[in-house]
A and B are shown apart, each in its own frame.
Chain A
Amino acid sequence: MGKKNYISAALCLVVAIVIMVGTGKNFLAAREVPLPEKGPSVTEVKMLSDWFDGLKDTNGDTPVYVLKGEKEGGAALVLGGTHANEPSGYMSAFTFIETAVVEAGTVYVIPYTNHSAMTHNDPGEGNIQYFTIPTQSGERTFRFGSRATNPIDQWPDPDVYVHYPSNQQLSGSETRNINRAYPGRPDGNLTEKMAYGVAELIRTENVGITFDLHEASPEYPVINATVAHQNAMDIASEGCIELLLGGIDMALEQSPTNFHGLTHRELGDFTDTMAILMETANASQGRLRGASGVEQVIGGLDRFYEINEDLGMLYVPFDENGHPIEERCGRHLQGIYEYIAAYNNANPDDAIIYSGVPGYDELFLNADPATLGGAHLGSFLK
């Protein structure tokens, strides 16, 4: 081998090592996920493994923020980050944790319900890994994760996913989707263990009402919608009417009895909680979008969705203003407020009373349009 070949080989090796170090650092950094600052009512930060120790020392263990009021009352649970690529879910959870003043009862908030899914993303989708918004303390960076558990933590996927205990069969990749894993099982895979941990928390703490916060692509039919277990439909009807009166376009659907693994089905069936799931419009999902970017994720903008709106392909209105993160979080947080108010009407002895959390008006309708797309939401965060 000539001298030149040695030099070329050495150069290639150096370039390969530089790339490996760079990508390796990026890969490892994804395991660090930013956490909420403690708000005025946070009395404790526990881990989901405190309710199910099978999660201890796994990437499925996740912080649970406990916001306890001074007065006795009922218990509510807010699940953010069930799907880590649906940012209004976990950003609503952050906002609730950092702003809520709980007067009666206890609110448990899990910002990253599938913690493992937050530690990777979907590079095949060209998705971003992080986004940054200005907050009261300066710029804060948040993760943008994946819909499913990190394959580092659970692999390989079976060809067919068989849900426990219904035996419903789904695509193999759904085995890492926590919203197909409920009610979970203690000796199952990591995703099933996470689901079991959530169900155990609900059972142990007598959680009366549970919210699961989601987003969906504009071309998905169940959008700007609430899906509720049949035992929560009276409360959901009352809350939904209040949302409509407040100018929020919200459809209400009852959870199908034959579609298993989802919070609104299994948590209602296997615990005593009233399970409610909400969907907002996310421009960074779906097949009709343009190239992925921050402007989709938190700006809610996409010119290809504008075109598809004109073609009648979408289930939500979509214009040049898009659906900024403030609108999406505002819908979720106003929804939580109205559904809890309806819950309180039906359960006055177990009321959950809180204030201080910005709703739809504060977050979206009354905002300076120039600040939408992250800055206005950040003004409520510590």
Chain B
Amino acid sequence: MNKKISALLLAGVMILSLAACGSQGSASSSVDPSGETVGLTEAFAEAPILVTSGGQSADYQMVGTLMGKIGMDYKISNLATSADLGDAKTLIVVVGGSSKGLGAAGIDADGELARLEELIDGAKTAGLSVIAMHTGGEARRGDLSDKFIAPIFEKADYAIVVSAGDEDGLMSGICSGAGIPMDSIDSISKVATVLPAAFK
């Protein structure tokens, strides 16, 4: 009898565990995807520009390469803090989590989040414009990447998102809710078209 009770209890705990797993996944899709985002209507940002990573994926380097190709002048630092802002007037944070990238940078996800919060708060205090970008599409979504999205996008003045990474409306929901202009593009290469329009 005792064995039967134990087995039933164990089964109950397992079912509860599964339910707990399910609830975490549904949190990211609980954002109302019906919110309409508004694209950028006028230039607001100024050079000099500092580009950093938000999660240590290599997407920030690809954005930097694209900016270089179209002649935009920028500094790049994947581990920038507020002390590195210098004379920058715009901070671009390219969001995307990568466990390999975090390993390469010698930082864990919590440390990266703390760095970004300190950097963005410092930038806001110093009056910099903050542009959040998510260019890695679906491959840069999931538990690790999602951890960085809200803290960065909520504080941005403008957002650029590759639409394949926003099918659940997480980023468009944040932007529409906070009145942040956001442009959706179909591939990272379109950054070269929309980003210059943000600069005076």
Q: Which residues of A contact B (CB under 8 A)?
A: 221-222, 224, 227-228, 230, 233-234, 236-238, 240-241, 244-245, 249, 251-259, 315
Chain B facing A: main interface SS: helix
Set B56, B62, B100, B106: member contacting A227, Cβ < 8 A: B100
- Contacting residues, chain B, for A237 (C-beta < 8 A): 58, 61-62, 64-65
Interface residues of B (CB under 8 A from A): 56-59, 61-62, 64-66, 69, 98-101, 103-104, 106, 136-137, 139-140, 187-189
Given contacts A241-B188, A244-B189, contact A255 B61 (CB under 8 A): no
Task: Count how many pairs of residues, one from A and one from B, have CB atoms less than 8 Å apart in the complex.
Answer: 68
Output the residue of A228, A233, A241, A252 with the most chain B CB within 10 A.
A241
List, in ascending order, chain B residues with CB within 8 A of A253's CB: 57-58, 98, 100-101
> In the bound complex, how far is the Cα of B69 from the Cα of A251, in angstroms?
19
**Cβ contact within 8 Å between B58 and A254:** yes
What is the chain B residue whose CB lies nearest that of A223? Answer: B139
Contacts of A315 in B (CB 8 A): 139
What CA separation (Å) do A312 and B98 show in the bound complex? 19
Pairwise interchain contact A241-B66, C-beta atoms closer than 8 A: yes
Q: Tell whether, in the assembled complex, residue A233 and residue B61 are in contact, meaning their CB atoms are under 8 Å apart.
A: yes
A-B contact pairs, 23 of them (CB 8 A): A221-B99, A233-B61, A234-B61, A237-B61, A237-B62, A240-B62, A241-B62, A241-B69, A244-B187, A244-B188, A244-B189, A245-B187, A249-B137, A251-B136, A252-B61, A254-B58, A254-B98, A256-B100, A256-B101, A256-B104, A257-B103, A258-B103, A259-B103
| Most chain A beta-carbon contacts within 10 A, residue among B59, B69, B104 | B104
CB distance from B85 to the nearest CB of A (A): 23
Residues of chain A lying within 8 A (CB to CB) of residue B139: 224, 249, 251, 315
With A224-B139, A240-B62, A254-B100 known, 12 other A-B pairs at CB within 8 A are A230-B104, A237-B58, A237-B61, A241-B62, A241-B65, A249-B139, A252-B59, A253-B98, A254-B98, A254-B101, A257-B106, A258-B103
